[in-house]
Amino acid sequence: MSPKYNLEIVMPQESNSNRRVVLAQRPNGLPDKSTLKLETTVLPQAGPGEMLLRTSYLSLDPYMRGRMNDTKSYAEPVKLGEVMTGQVIAQVVDTNCDGFEAGDYVLAGSGWQDYAVSDGVGIRNLGKSPENPSWFLGILGMPGYTAYAGLLKIGEPKPGETVVVAAASGPVGATVGQIAKLKGCRVVGIAGGSEKCAHVVENLGFDACIDHKADNFSDQLKAACPDGVDVYFENVGGRVLYAVLPLLNAFARMPVCGVVSWYNLTGLPDGPDFGPAIMGTILRMKVKVEGFIIFDSFPASLFKDFVRDMSGWLESGQVQYKEQVVDGLEHAPAALNDLLLGNCFGKMVVKVE
Ligand code: NDP
């Protein structure tokens, strides 16, 4: 994590207080010092039918940047003054809720704070001693399921086909590529820098990984995809999308999962208008382009398949997982910027307690 954003906030911890990070101002571009603010409030208490949760790990994810904007989207924006949204692994401190005991680990959506009160609705109980609790924020949770569902249900990869995915060392891209390998595909990753690219090939088993920061990136990508591209799992947009477009084969599939390279845009990007190239390619190559949002685009039964398959793959060592753990809630704002800019390596989680 880099200190260059000057975003660390001093967070005194008193025994009867709750530290929380709220949205103070909507950012214009990359979040800055005025975007997020620390508040210290009184420690909340669990009332009847409620429980008190103590956050262990906070997940940082690219969608958080979108929630800072007051624009029409698939979810309501965070309101000014509200606690920043986020999934957490928490421990039950005190409970009046059926089905939960003190000491249970839970997956909750209680955001950037030390403590939260919950009525138990939508909370997943992980039991007293889950093996790797933070993995439920990554490979065994939302990002892992995003990769599984988006690739298999929209990408529909077939043995021998070429699958391309960017942000290939991150939780979604790394999982997409490893599942595609298990399905018998040639898999080409795209990542920022030689260290990430080496990890993607050597540890994750992709056939190739191209550095999108290289001057001859497009040429390298073309050389790595001699039979064209059948599935482009869209994670980033921008320069990567423009390089993949001319490589798409007839009837290629493009699950549109995210466009993180554009999340901090304040207007139209500089440079040529790629609209005609994008729409022309979709038309001529009969490309299936389908956007999805993981929590409402697939039937609930698919999640059970995911848990079964992914647990098996992890146990057998067929899927590898890498985390970057940042210590302390006070570092979360800077860590989110690192995530958005690619200055992270693996699934970013913040150890809060
Ligand atoms: P990552 O942890 O992989 O972080 C994002 C990565 O994007 C960065 O590390 C960086 O990797 C890459 N990146 C950033 N800027 C650029 C750029 N200009 N050009 C190329 N790559 C860039 O993220 P996740 O795995 O959590 O998420 C991946 C994508 O999936 C995101 O777009 C996210 O919004 C989306 N998503 C969508 C969901 C849905 O329901 N549709 C659910 C979950 C995630 P590098 O340094 O390698 O370039």
Does residue 191's CB lie within 6 angstroms of at least one atom of ligand 1? yes
Arithmetic mean of pLDDT over the chain: 95
Does residue 61's CB lie within 6 angstroms of at least one atom of ligand 1? yes
Residue 150 has pLDDT above 90, yes or no: yes
Question: CA 183, CA 156: separation in Å to the nearest integer?
Answer: 10
Question: CA 81, CA 195: separation in Å to the nearest integer?
Answer: 39
3-class secondary structure, 283? helix
Taking the centre of ligand 1 as the mean of its atom positions, its distance from the CA of residue 108, in whole angstroms, is 22
Residue 15 has pLDDT above 80, yes or no: no
Question: CA 271, CA 62: separation in Å to the nearest integer?
Answer: 24
Q: For residue 150, which of 179, 107, 190 has the smallest C-alpha distance?
A: 179
Ligand 1: atom nearest CA of 169 is 47
List pLDDT tens digits, range 296-313.
999 999 999 999 999 999
Kindly give, in sequence order, each residue whose CB lies less than 8 Å from that of residue 304, ignoring residues fewer than 6 positions away: none
Nearest-CA residue for atom 15 of ligand 1: 261
Within 13 A of 60's CA, how many CA atoms are on the CB side?
31
pLDDT at 2: 53
Kindly give, in sequence order, each residue whose CB lies less than 8 Å from that of residue 244, ignoring residues fewer than 6 positions away: 164, 221, 229, 232
Kindly give, in sequence order, each residue whose CB lies less than 8 Å from that of residue 188, ignoring residues fewer than 6 positions away: 162, 163, 164, 165, 206, 207, 208, 209, 210, 221, 224, 225, 229
Residue at 339: amino acid letter: L
pLDDT at 270: 87
Nearest-CA residue for atom 19 of ligand 1: 261
pTM: 0.95
Question: Rounded mean pLDDT of 168-174?
Answer: 98
Find the Cα–Cα–Cα–Cα dihedral 201, 205, 208, 209, rounded to 10°.
Answer: -50
- Counting ligand 1 atoms within 8 A of each CB, the residue from 60, 235, 241, 326 with the most, and so the one to mutate, is 235
